Amino acid sequence: MSRIGKLPIAIPDKVTVTVGNDNVVTVKGPLGVLSQKVDPDITVSVQEKEVVITRPTEQKRHKSLHGLYRSLINNMVVGVSTGYTVKQELVGVGYRAEAKGQLLELSLGYSHDIVMQLPTEVKVETVTEKRANPIITLTCHDKQLIGQVAAKIRSLRAPEPYKGKGIKFVGEELRRKAGKSAGAK
């Protein structure tokens, strides 16, 4: 039995989970509505404040789908009830970020500024303090979408291993390399 798949998902107050036809799971909560189509082999049932996912056989495919859909539905329940937050830090001299509604304007040391149009579900805030790196805070109820947006922002200037300049997640530990002078003796 899948260790993840066999765990029931607790449904918090103010959140409703419905399983429609074609095995589409819809989760509604105070922060929004999310839906996910589930493979026809996997059975999703809602029982008294919890969601239970079961699989028909012990095939490798069914085992992997069992844990996958349990995790996806759990992420949806957490997303519509509490939401997700991702913080990114811009490390580098002259790097700055400014949010104008759904537009994120980044100055990352290129010859031009980069302007990103963010999806309407993602809320963005930027904080710039004196003598501190600018911080971008993304909030959303969809874990997959916020991860995709954060990865796209990071890809604009990924942290480099020598000085650590670039866009990194807050709290992320970067592997640093010794420079040229360290090996020449």
Domains of the chain, earliest start first: 9-81 (3.90.930.12), 84-169 (3.90.930.12)
What is the mean predicted confidence (pLDDT) over 150-157? 95
In sequence order, what are the beta bridge partners of 168? 89
Distance CA 149, CA 141 (A): 13
pTM of the model: 0.89
With a cut of 80, say whether residue 1 has pLDDT above it.
no
Which secondary-structure segment (H or E) carries 117? strand 114-117
Token output for 120: 């309407």
Task: List, in order, residues 6 or more apart from 178 with CB less than 8 Å away.
Answer: none
**pLDDT tier at 88 (50, 70, 90 boundaries)?**
very high
Distance CA 145, CA 125 (A): 17
Q: What is the dihedral of CA 165, 171, 173, 178, to 10 degrees?
A: 40
